[in-house]
Structure formats: structure tokens, C-alpha cells
Chains A and B, each alone.
Chain A
Amino acid sequence: MRRETWAMLRAELFQLRKRTSTWVLLGIWAAMGLFFGYVLPYLIETPDGADAGPVAGLLPERMIGEVVSGFPFYGGAIAIMLGVLSVGSEFGWGTFKTLFTQRPGRGAVIGSKLGALAVVLLPFVLVSFAIGGAASSLIALREGYAIDFGSMGDLVLAILAGWMILAVWASVGVLLAVATRGTSLAIGIGIIWALVIEGLLGVFVESVSWLEWVNSVMLRSNAYSLVEPLGGGTEGDGPGAFTGPYVDPGQALLTLGLLMVVSLGISLALMMRRDVA
């Protein structure tokens, strides 16, 4: 990596690190993972100290699947917000005009921002697994089970899959921010998309045949399909429930990759062409 490129990336990472919203989102993400992934299920499964048998899904050996199943659902909402805020706020602050009149040009500025966003997503992924590891270990200790996290290979795959899912959602966030030149509308549209539209499509897909193809290119179905082999699936009919149809994990990876490339490509094209007010 060229020295100048590295310097720009470090500068972007620095300003993201200094931003309160980055830490707030990380905190919310961590809290949601802990509360909805472990605390709430544990309280439901062991009312009044009843038999701990049903907590098997919360033990370390199922940690990878448990943690990774949160990425396609609320991980998407968090990543969209992160993507929107990392780029959209610059429109409100007017900082694009300041950055674009420095030396490197628009492409390098946007590239640095996207690179920094990609790096920032990694702690989000790692934190969720760290919390999953700690929470599942505590439950295992309390319930008298062995602490066994399973295959290290699966853990690495889960981390990569988790990063990929967050990165695609964040890319959609970037696109929405660029398209709307701001944050409020972009976050609104993003949240509706992630939590409502994708969910409703999943509900009707079994009744309307042509929706199956639409569903096969949707972000959530591909994200669940990617983590399903790692034990990441959902049960029941809650807001984040996904019962299929699943696509092949390879196809899911390809589709997610394409969605990311298309989102970022359109964003970059818009930023390169548009006037900066």
C-alpha cells in the first residue's frame, strides 16, 4: 500500500474512532447481541431455576451459530446506520467540499472512507463473538457444562461471513446516504428495508411464486443462507425469523458480493459526477 493511501486510511480511521456515534453503535450492537442472543433466551429457557436442559443452544459449542445468526437481522440494521453515518454525515457537515479540494481527488477520498468503514466493521464482528464467547462460557459454568467452542476453522469462517454480511448492509447504507445526500432519510429507508420489506417478502414468498426469485437476490435471504451451514438459523416467527428458502452458500456469497459491488459502484459514480454544494 502506498504511503499516501495508508495516511488517508489512517486519517479516516482516526476521525471515525473519535466519533461518538461509532462507539454508540458498537455499544448497541454489543448490548443487542448479549441481551437477545443470551440473556433473554436464558431467562426464557430457565424460568425460576428450572431444568437447564433447553439452554443447550446457549452453550459454547453452539456459540458460533448463535452469534452469527444475529448478523443478517439486527446486524443489518446496525451496519446500515454505520454506513449511512460514515458517509452521509459529510453532506451535513459540508466536509466533502473541504476534502475534495485537497490533493488526491474524489476517488481517493471516497476510497479511503470505504476502506476505513471496512476496517471499522471488523471490531463489530469480533466484539459480537467475544461477547458470545463470554456469555456462553458463563452459562456453561453456571449450568455445569464443559466449555468447548468447537472448530477454530468454523470460527474463522463465521467471522469472515459476519464481516461480509455487515459489509454488504453497510454498502447499502453508503448508497442510501449518497443517493439522499444526508443521514435522516437514508437511515429511515434503510431500517424500513432491513426490518420491514425484507421480512414481509420472506412471509409472502411461500404464497407468491415469482417472489421466490426476488427473495433469492434479497440481502437477508442470502445472508441467512451464508451462515446457515455454520449453524446460524432462526426458529419461530419472530421479527427476525427466516425459514427459507435458503440458497446455496456459494451462490449466497456471490450474490452478496455483487450487491456490495453494485451499491459501492453506484455510490462512487454518483460522487464522482455530482456537483458538491
Chain B
Amino acid sequence: MHDYVIETTGLTKRYGDIAAVESLDLRVRRGEVFGFLGANGAGKTTTLRMLLGLIRPTGGHAVVMGEKPGAAASLARIGSMIETPAFYPHLSGRDNLHVLAAYAGIGRDRIDAALEQVDLDKRAGDAFRTYSLGMKQRLGVAAALMKDPALLILDEPTNGLDPAGMAEMRTLIRKLGDEGRTVIVSSHLMVEIEQVCDRAAMISNGTLIAEGTIDELRGEDVLVIEADPLDEACQLVAGLPGVREVRPGAGELRVSGTDGLDPARINARLVREGIEVRELRRERSSLESVFLSLTNGSGTGDADDGGLDSMHPSHEKEVLYAS
């Protein structure tokens, strides 16, 4: 039995005939760093806005921190940054946090600590309108952290950050997760999610297309063998113990199987049978390749591709030899 911080059932947001989010069932467990992946316009931000009570769903419902979205009791424990951070341009970074602290009902003593945490303390006295996008982003994170939240909702937090800033942000998010906070990070950068998240959900055209741990989403490793003659190699490998399927490609075989799949033994067997092995390597699927295969390469593919069970459609196509 999991302790869910966020639970949505059939969550839907329609604008006329257009479904921004369609029947979304999402569960985020307490204390995990949860990635929310999707192409631009997939429905990530709309979903997060619904979770914060900024927009009302047209169908389904959501429970956030045990409350209705937007309830004062839950907002008090949620730090959030949705899309581009929005602050008063005529106030300094620190003054903006003073205003928010008054609304959040928290002491001013947390402001400096939050600014230091995002490395913005030296520019905190400058007007917000003079900040770079990266600095605005960091101020947004500082505002979220200032509340010492149990749940952090960060929408594209690395937007506008330089590579060093992105790395720092990822480290910070991971650290926040390690502190026991629940963190939801939305992003269209798969690598980012892969690096910092425990679990993730993929959304396309407003519909959930996959959800699971990062390893579950990525799927199993594939052994890639370049051999000659390929046909013979294919027949041989397909009959080896531990091999579940073999897919021949352009001059190579892609072999998947159980944990017992041993590249060294496969290599030895091929060589023993007189088959020339040019290359043998283990290849790990990336979230990006999985996402692209689920969305037919466009990032906005058919939402009916299904859930986790259909995470590896490419593995299921044209299987010529399988044990």
C-alpha cells in the first residue's frame, strides 16, 4: 500500500473540442522524485496547474496532500514554480520574497537561506526586471523552497539555465528528494528526468502513455552483435539459453533476454561455430528513445499506445527468431 501525495482519477481539461489533458490517472508517492515527461504542449503544465488549483478540471478529480487542489491547507505545504517564474518586476528578488512570505505566512528568516540555497544572495537586492532568465528561474526555486515544502512542483526548472546551472539544479532536486521531500519535475528533457527521478510518467497529447520507475520505462538492456554471416549468427543466438528474442537489423542483431544472458558465452559460441564477430556491445535504451518510439518519433504520437505493457513496441515488431 503506497502513501500517495498526489492522486488523480480521470483528470480532464478540455477547451471546447480540444482536450489539453484527457482522463489522466496519476499517482505520486510520498518522498519520491517524480518526473513528468512530455513534448511541449503535451499537457504537462495544464496538469500541474490543475494540481495547484490554478485551473479547474472539466472532468475527473485530484487529491493533493490529502486535500482538494488549491486548498489553503495543502498550499501551505507546497512549493511550486509553474512555467516562467512570475514576480513583480519593480521589486528586488529579496523584496519579492518578502511579499510572498507575507502571503505564505512564513517568517522572513527563511528568505536569506532560500536565496543562498539557489546562489542568488549576491544579486538579491537587484530589481527582478534586471535578472537573466536563469536568475529568474533560481528566484522561482527560492520562492518554492522558502516555504520548506513537503511537496515541490517544478515545471521545467532548468529552462534558461546554462549547463553549469542545469547541473546545479539537478543536484539540488536530487538533494531535495534525498531529504524526504516529494518532488515533481516536469520536463521535455528526457536526460534530465533520467538523471534525477525515481519514477516518471510520460504524457502525449494530454494522455498518459507510460508510468513507472526509470528502469521500468527504459526497459531492458539489449545486446547488439555485428557478425558475419548474420543469418547463421541469428539462428544460433536464438537457440541459446536466456535469449528471448533476436531482431536482425542492418548488419547487426539486437538480442534481448533474461538476466542470465551472458555476452562472453555468446561471443565464445559464435566464434566456435566459425562466425566472425565484429562487435558485441550492450546497449541501454534511453527514455528519449522509448518516448520517441511510443509517440512514433514525433513526441506527439497516438495516445492509445497504452501503458507500461506496451513500452517496447520496437521489441515486438518483426521478430524473426525467438526462443
Contacts and interface: CB of A to CB of B under 8 A. Distances in A.
B91 A95 contact: no
Shortest Cβ-Cβ A-B pairs, 8 listed: A94-B86, A11-B102, A275-B55, A102-B103, A7-B102, A276-B54, A103-B76, A11-B99
Interface in A75-122: 93-95, 97-105, 108-109, 112
A264 B245 CA distance: 68
A95 B95 CA distance: 14
Contacts of B52: 100-101
Contacts of B82: 97, 101
Q: Looking at chain B, what size class is its interface with the partner chain?
A: 20 to 34
Interface string A1-40: 0001001101110110011100000000000000000000
Q: Secondary structure of the A side of the interface? A: helix
Given A7-B102, A276-B55, A105 B86 contact: no
B103 A95 contact: no
Nearest to A99: B103
Interface in B137-192: 143, 147
A195 to B, nearest CB: 28
Contact of A275 (B54, B90, B99, B104): B54
Contact of B75 (A11, A20, A103): A103
Contacts of A275: 49, 54-56
Interface of B: 49, 52-56, 70-72, 75-76, 78, 80, 82-91, 95, 98-100, 102-105, 143, 147
B54 A97 contact: yes
B100 A15 contact: no
Q: Looking at chain A, what size class is its interface with the partner chain?
A: 20 to 34
A101 B90 contact: no
A249 B164 CA distance: 67
Given A18-B90, A93-B87, A276-B54, A8 B102 contact: yes
A100 B85 CA distance: 13
A102 B53 CA distance: 11
B86 A104 contact: no
B105 A4 contact: yes
Interface of A: 4, 7-8, 10-12, 14-15, 18-20, 93-95, 97-105, 108-109, 112, 275-277
A15 B103 contact: no
A105 to B, nearest CB: 5
Nearest to A109: B103
14 contacts: A7-B102, A10-B102, A11-B102, A14-B98, A14-B99, A18-B91, A20-B90, A93-B89, A97-B86, A98-B85, A101-B53, A104-B103, A275-B56, A276-B54
B80 A101 contact: yes
A18 B99 CA distance: 12
A12 B99 CA distance: 7
Contact of A100 (B54, B71, B105): B54
Contacts of B90: 15, 18-20
A184 to B, nearest CB: 17
Given A15-B95, A94-B83, A101-B78, 20 more contacts: A7-B105, A8-B102, A10-B102, A12-B99, A14-B99, A93-B87, A95-B86, A97-B82, A99-B103, A101-B75, A101-B82, A103-B72, A103-B75, A103-B76, A103-B103, A105-B70, A105-B71, A108-B103, A109-B103, A275-B49
Contacts of A7: 102, 105
Contact of A103 (B89, B95, B99, B104): B104
